[in-house]
Structure 1
Amino acid sequence: MTTNRLLTLPLSLLTLAIAHSAIAEERAQQTTLAPMVIKGDVLGTASDAEVRSYPGSRSVVSAEDLNKASVRGLDDALQRVPGVKVFDETGTGALPQISVRGLYESRSGRVQPLSDGIPLSLAPYGQTSLSLFPQTLATVERIDIVRGGAAVQYGPNNVGGVINFISKPIPQQWQTTLQERATFAPGGRSLWDSYIGTGGYLTDNFGLQLDLNTVTGEYGREHSDSEVQNYRLRGQWDIDDERSLSFGVQRYKADLDLAGALSVADYKDDPRQSTRDLDRFEGDTDRVWGTYNQYLGAIGPFDAVEFSWTNFAHNSYRNFIIGLPFTPDATPDTLQDAPRDFRVWGSEPRLSMSIDGDSVSQTWLLGARLVKEDVDFKVNRQNLATGAHSVIRDWTFDDEAKAAYLSNELKLLDGRLTITPGVRYEHARMEYTDGVSGIERETIAEEWLPGLSLGYQLTDTWFAYANAQKSLRAPQITSIVKDGDVAAELAWNYETGVRYTPWQGLRVDLGLYRIDFEDQIEYNRSNDRFENLGSTRHQGIESEIFWTPAALPELDLHASYAYLDSEQRAGAFKGNEVPFASSHQVGVDGRYRFADAWTYTLDGLYVSSAYTDAANTHAENATASIGELPAYWVWNTALEREFKLDDGSLLTASAGVSNLFDRQYYFRGIDTSPWGRQAAPGRTLTLGVNYSF
């Protein structure tokens, strides 16, 4: 594995920054131009005003929270959100394991991830899991988490919600940022996160942003060498007052050693060791996307018509190389690799049509999507004693998904009441062929997905909401490969809640939800198969409090609590809890700014115990493939100092400790290492410096 690090600014990049500094200096003030947003877009820009009036459960992880030195990665930041649980496998965020409201599947398979509104999954229909995650912490400004009410526009696979990773808008004035973060763990292990970003407007209406980010080193355990490269170029062309084009290209590559799960004895002896020296991951992707927006003016009965057309494509590869058998303390006799190639193309036109009436205003949104997926899946094995090779799987998948949706946002009572009915139609055809057996099969998932959202501004301080929506997840490649149940998953989501903002420094959010799953597919690690749990129910409470005391405006306090009641409602284990669904989650954090330039933060997270099999087995078995996961409290702290230099540039230095009290806790084995205890990251120290000019 190479260990090159991005520590110096390339000469060509430095030349570009200097060449445009003169342009930057001529501008009167530094501003940021946000791209045009279609009026009927459910997510919008995730501004504070949009979040407060959104008719569903919604949270935003801010730039301040992401920049804390105690945050290890994007998935680490997400677990501060009520209802979001993270199974941290690497401590780098490169292979996230995200569960929302107790809906867990390997590689975050039950949430819909987006990057600036563009699907992130390797195959948005056929493989929703993030077994390649082309995002890094340094390139994201904030994260928008929508847990309900977005199914009509952002289907499928949003039973657990939509998570949108939002990039920083291209600045109007040219700006360059150099950043270095070094994370130190016991045993002399260190991880280096190096970032260079430069961009701005070359003319009054055309801007570019280049991001170069590498992560190299070890993440805290034996056999944890990591190298991630994330290079991205984004552009914004404001063609005129009525037309704009945003676009981007990206090259992402990851090469990781996987420490894997441990036997109970090995975990007790040293949770930072690894007994799976053959396990590793490699993957890369080339991505391109673009969105064209045009304001068409008044047409017919509509006072304003806007058109948007998004296209995206990527060519991706990922491979897990592992030693078999899975048993953590067994000597491997077989080396298995599972390379997959993905070629995906998608197109989504959208039309927004508004009528501004005296008593009633409305916005119609009409959209469609076409996605094509071409996937090659292989599993090869090599006998380590004889060197003999065998081909276990040789699958090809040809998927085509078509969707259309229509919604109408009605604003009544001077805009205080918003009612948005909508419907989405999904049709996914999935054809696959087994090159080993010659088997061919076609699977079709077809469903109408209605939704209804209501938002009511009761007073200046009270906002109430309710929504109901139906969601679908198409049959997954992974479950097909494992010879398990391959039916589509269907679920109904219901939410209601209130937001109370009595004054600017206080906000209270309280929401109730219920998810009725018709057919929930769950991986059984004890027999390496996907099984249909049948009907399941998830319901609970999510709450957040944001408080800045009037007498102490330098202090920001935040607390959250999530309660989850999950139940299997069919089969042999009817009445039991759903696997991996923790009933309680508590988050507390505070930020204190002092002496004009210093910021201190402290946050804590509690997650209650959870079962890991449908039978709700308490005791671990001999291979530690099942058994109750213990509860845990984790605390983190960070200190930051800003230096405003005479030339207008800004230097920021930070230090943070993650898992302050070195709490030792574990998850059940994950994906390619399904048996044993997967040790969570221990205590680490992160030092960072950021220079923007």
Structure 2
Amino acid sequence: MNNHARLFALPLSLLALAISHAAHAEEASHQKVLAPMVIKGDVLGSASDEEVRTYPGSRSVVDSEELSKASVRGLDDALQRVPGFKIFDETGTGALPQISVRGLTESRSGRVQALADGIPLSLAPYGQTSLSLFPQTLATVDRIDVVRGGASVQYGPNNVGGVINFISRPIPQTWETTLQERATFAPGGRAMWDSYLGTGGYLSDNFGLQLDLNTITGEYGREHSDSEVQNYRLRGQWDIDDARSLSFGVQRYKADIELAGALSVADYKDDPRQSTRNLDRFEGDSDRVWGTYKQFLGAIGPFDAAEFSWTNFANNSFRDFQIGLPFDPAATPTSFQDAPRDFRVWGSEPRLSLSIDGDSVSQTWLLGARLVKENVDFDVNNQNLSTGASRVVRDWVFDTEGQAVYLSNEIKLADGRLTVTPGLRYEHAQMEFSGSVNGAQQNPQDKVSEEWLPGLSIGYQASDEWFVYANAQRSLRVPQVFQIVRDGVVQAELSQNYETGVRYSPQDNLRFDLGYFRIDFDDQIEFSDGAFRNLGSTRHQGIESEVFWTPAALPTLDLHATYAFLEAEIRTGANNGNEVPFSSKHHFTVDGRYRFAEAWSYTLDGLYVSTAFTDSANTSAENASASIGRLPAYWLWNTAIEREFKLDDGSLLTTSAGVSNLFDREYYFRGIDTSPNGRQPAPGRTLTLGVNYSF
């Protein structure tokens, strides 16, 4: 047996033992009933308030109240309240999120590990980590769990900036139906309609279904911005018996969006709501299926309790960006380019949790493995608009197989007040490439990336008021599909992540969170001398803080504020010591919710983001094509009001109105994917009216 096989033999043998034990347990179930026991087999859990308060790392939750505000336009918009998050809002719909965490920026949120109920959301979790197709919509998400450190052992790869888990509402015990309509109005008579129907509940004592139908249609506030998004999803929960359960889901997502694109400086000053890139658009679709089987196994050997889970997921996706070239927004397009990509992904992850409940020391062992297979067809086609002649620029095929095993041990000491969790993950990814450029066949490539990723988290409940934590971990992102197409040594990008912080809760109605982080991100892949190589290095460090306060004298008022300071520095090359492009030093938010007259609720929130450079040379002056130059700082204010009507039949009607970008602040981004040059206008002021009826 070779070394690679041995790495997987031990965990797979233990998992086989667990399955065998499960079979004997099922036979014995006719003679005795196993008492259910909760085992923490998932590091993140359900994102409850208690789990967040005692998590040994930086963690924030955007709750359902925040997501339901009429002034929140999309999921990425809601994330702006999280310390360390910067959103480059291109459309105001959330359909194509551009998320940066702690100064880690890449096209289409490529540095973010995004999950939906624990299932990877990216088109290809190893080979293409970007969210260039984002099969999530605001109406279908109950809350967002954001973990910025301490989760690399269980949730790899691509977690340098942390993990974002979009959590769905649990299936209700009694059947419930929700009808929701939101209409967002922008200047120029443009409107966006967000229609949602959700219905579900338990059909019997142990079997429940939830159907979500969500469509978004209209214009997002600029010329050339027609959009249509369809998100249809069916989820199920089958509690087979006291020891076994099966959760599953199937989803169909489709998007067709015109991209208004960036503007020249002159056009931006003339009218930032116009568009000069009338050929640019995006379309994509995804069919997704997933399921998780869980079984409580009872006692096994020295362990007091054990639980086995097995998650499988698959998606068949397509996405295509269509653009006019050249990129210069002031130039007349001379060619039309489209970049269709097909993705076929399958993943499987068995996991075994083993618990020892001792008098002075308790432990939870977590052993898991993952196998992901990806097949990607990557094409680029170009048509000359003058002659009509077409050619195939790129015709690439990628096959990637990612394998991982991980082991962690949560040890509780000092009557459970001290928790120490060491862990280790092994990642092995093999990427094969074949294809051609402009009809010329390229050399096939076969790349292997393998790394050991250790992690250690420590949490200490010093008193009822104080919780202290620290963690250190190693994270990676394997080379992306477009980075292995040339000769050259390309290995995984590696980072060392460190955090320490405190949570102080002097009263039930007051909490302070303060944390320091540092990321040493080495071996970043850069293009140099005709090939991709691991040449880049950056250091990201800073302070993140949050305050939650409900004044005792006014218990209907909830106040929340965050502040993040970021120092992101280039550590190699001619620009050594400069700021990392697109990273802002200061990020400040404040928000409040006031409930009055029993059924009314009013919210007001503000966001400040400081200036940022857009190139590694840190050029302040904007050039003629507006491809470089300092980005301005901006303040944004949003407000919303909501009224609940509890009807006699027990149903609930909620009406709301909200204004986003209350003072119509004009600000812009640049360098966004298919429109890299020019000024990309951020969304202006909009009015959203909503009605929600649950019965």
| TM norm. shorter chain > 0.5 | yes
Q: 2:628 aligns with which of 602, 623, 626?
A: 626
Of 486, 500, 506, the residue aligned with 1:502 is 506
Distance in 1, Cα, partners of 2:652 & 2:595: 17
* Residue aligning to 1:6: none
Relative to structure 1, the CA distance from residue 556 to residue 483 in structure 2 (aligned partners, 3 Å threshold; closer, same or farther) is: farther
Partner of 1:603: 605
2:154 counterpart SS class: helix
Q: Contact 2:54–2:467 (CA<8 Å) still a contact in 1?
A: yes
1:478 Cα offset (Å): 3.6
Aligned to 2:266, the other structure's residue is in SS state helix
Q: Which residue of 2 aligns with 1:462?
A: 466
Change (3 A) 1:80 1:477: same
Instruction: Give the deviation of 1:438 after TM superposition.
Output: 2.4
Give unpaired runs (5+ residues) of structure 2. 1-35
The answer as to whether partners of 1:38 and 1:308 remain within 8 angstroms in 2 is no
Instruction: Say whether the 8 Å CA contact 1:517–1:536 is kept in structure 2.
Output: yes
- Tell me, in whole angstroms, the C-alpha distance in 2 between the residues paired with 1:108 and 1:37: 35
- Post-superposition shift, 1:519? 2.0
1:638-677 alignment to 2 at 5 Å? Answer: 638-677=640-679
Structure 1 531/188 Cα, relative in aligned 2: closer, same or farther at 3 Å?
Answer: farther
Q: Structure 1: which amino acid aligns with 2:566? A: L
**Contact 1:175-1:198 within 8 A present in 2 as well:** yes
In the comparison of the two structures, how many residue pairs are matched? Answer: 657
Aligned residues of 1:38 and 1:307 also touching (Cα < 8 A): no
Partner of 1:451: 455
> 1:37 and 1:334 mapped to 2: Cα distance?
60
Q: Which one of 615, 618, 623 corresponds to residue 616 of structure 1?
A: 618
Paired position in structure 1 for 2:71: 70
Structure 2 match to 1:441: 445
Q: CA, structure 1 residues 523+273, in 2 after alignment: closer, same or farther (shift >3 Å)?
A: farther
**Could you tell me which amino acid in structure 1 is paired with residue 296 of structure 2?**
Y
CA–CA distance in structure 2, aligned partners of residues 335 and 329 of structure 1: 16
The question of whether the paired residues in 1 share the 8 Å contact of 2:180 and 2:692 is answered with: yes
Q: Distance in 2 between matches of 1:205 and 1:97?
A: 40
Normalization by structure 2: what TM-score?
0.93
CA deviations over 1:284-309 (Å, ceiling 9, x no partner): 00000000000000010000010000
State the match for 2:377 in structure 1. Answer: 376
CA distance in 2, matches of 1:108, 1:317: 18
Report how far residue 488 of structure 1 moved. 1.9
DSSP-derived class of the 2:153 partner? helix
Residue equivalent to 1:430: 431
Shift of 1:479: 3.6
User: In 2 relative to 1, CA 483–160 (structure 1 residues): closer, same or farther, beyond 3 Å?
Assistant: farther
Q: Deviations over 1:471-529 (max 9, x none)?
A: 010001244469999542100000000000111100000000000011234699xx999
CA distance in 2, matches of 1:669, 1:227: 25
Equivalences for residues 222-371 of structure 1 within 5 A: 222-371=223-372
Whole-angstrom distance in 1 between the partners of 2:367 and 2:167:
24
Residue of structure 1 in register with 2:101 after alignment:
100
Asked if the contact 1:347–1:371 (Cα under 8 Å) also holds between the matched residues in 2, the reply is yes
Equivalences for 1:129-148 in 2 at 5 Å?
129-148=130-149
* Cα gap change, 1:63 to 1:338, in 2 (>3 Å): same
Aligned mates of 1:546, 1:83 — CA distance in 2: 17
- Whole-angstrom CA distance in 2 between matches of 1:91 and 1:480: 34
Find the counterpart in structure 2 of residue 476 from structure 1: 480
Q: For 1:610 and 1:54, how far apart are their aligned partners in 2? A: 32
Q: Does 1:686 align with 2:688?
A: yes
1:587 aligns with 2:589: yes
Counterpart check, 1:404 vs 2:394: no
In the other structure, the counterpart of 1:201 is: 202
CA contact (8 A) 1:105 1:522 kept: no
User: Hey, what does 2:516 align to over in structure 1?
Assistant: 512
User: Alpha-carbon deviations, 1:240-265, whole Å to 9, x = none?
Assistant: 00000000000000000000011111
1:281-337 Cα offsets, whole Å, 9 max, x none, are 000000000000000000100000100000000000000000000000110010000
Shift of 1:443: 1.2
Partner of 2:493: 489
**Inter-partner Cα distance in structure 1 for 2:379 and 2:408:** 41
Change (3 A) 1:61 1:608: same
Report how far residue 533 of structure 1 moved: 5.8
After the TM superposition, which residues 108-187 of structure 1 pair with which residues of structure 2 at under 5 Å, given as runs? 108-187=109-188
The answer on whether the counterparts of 1:260 and 1:669 sit within 8 Å (CA) in structure 2 is: no
- 1:138 is paired with a residue whose SS is helix
Aligned residue number for residue 89 of structure 1? 90
Partners of 2:94 and 2:497 in 1: CA distance: 28
Structure-2 residue corresponding to 1:11:
none
Give 3-state SS (helix, strand or coil) of 2:69's partner.
coil
Unaligned 5+ segments in structure 1 are 1-34
**Match for residue 557 of structure 1?**
559
Q: Give the whole-Å Cα distance in 2 for the aligned partners of 1:472 and 1:590.
A: 38
Give the deviation of 1:38 after TM superposition.
5.2
Return the alpha-carbon distance in structure 1 between the equivalents of residues 589 and 180 of structure 2: 29
- Decide whether the 8 Å contact of 2:601 with 2:643 is kept in 1: yes
Which AA in structure 2 matches 1:506?
L
CA 1:480–1:189: 2 relative to 1, 3 Å: farther
2:547 matched to 1:548? no
Please list every run of at least 4 consecutive aligned residues from structure 1 whose deviation after the TM superposition is greater than 3 angstroms: 35-38, 478-487, 521-524, 527-533
Structure 2 CA distance for partners of 1:485 and 1:317, relative to 1, 3 Å:
farther
Give 1:419 deviation, angstroms.
0.1
Secondary structure in 1 matching 2:536: coil
CA-based RMSD = 1.7
Does the 8 Å contact 1:560/1:586 carry over to 2?
A: yes
Distance 2:603 2:496 in 1: 39
Return the letter of the residue paired with 2:576. K
Distance 1:441 1:417, change over 3 A: same
Measure the CA separation in 2 of the matches of 1:504 and 1:314. Answer: 44
Tell me the CA shift for residue 577 of structure 1: 0.7
Once the two structures are overlaid, the 10-residue window that deviates more, 432-441 or 449-458, is: 432-441
Deviations 1:512-561 (Å, cap 9, x if unpaired)? Answer: 0000011234699xx99978662210000000000000010000000000
Alpha-carbon distance in 2 for matches of 1:453, 1:64: 31
Measured against aligned partners, the alpha-carbon deviations of 1:23-56 in whole angstroms (never above 9, x if no partner) come to xxxxxxxxxxxx9975131110000000000000
Q: For 1:304, what is the secondary structure of its paired residue?
A: strand
Query: Distance in 2 between the 1:311 and 1:248 partners?
Result: 11
Give the drift of 1:239. Answer: 0.3
User: TM-score, normalising length from structure 1?
Assistant: 0.93
Distance 1:263 1:359 in 2: 67
How has the CA–CA distance of structure 1 residues 371 and 640 changed in structure 2, closer, same or farther, with 3 Å as cutoff?
same
- Partners of 2:126 and 2:187 lie apart in 1 by 41
Q: Residue by residue, what CA displacement relative to the aligned partner does 1:122-175 show, whole Å, maximum 9, x if unpaired?
A: 000000000000000000000000000000000100000100000000000000
Cα 1:167–1:661 change in 2 (3 A) is: same
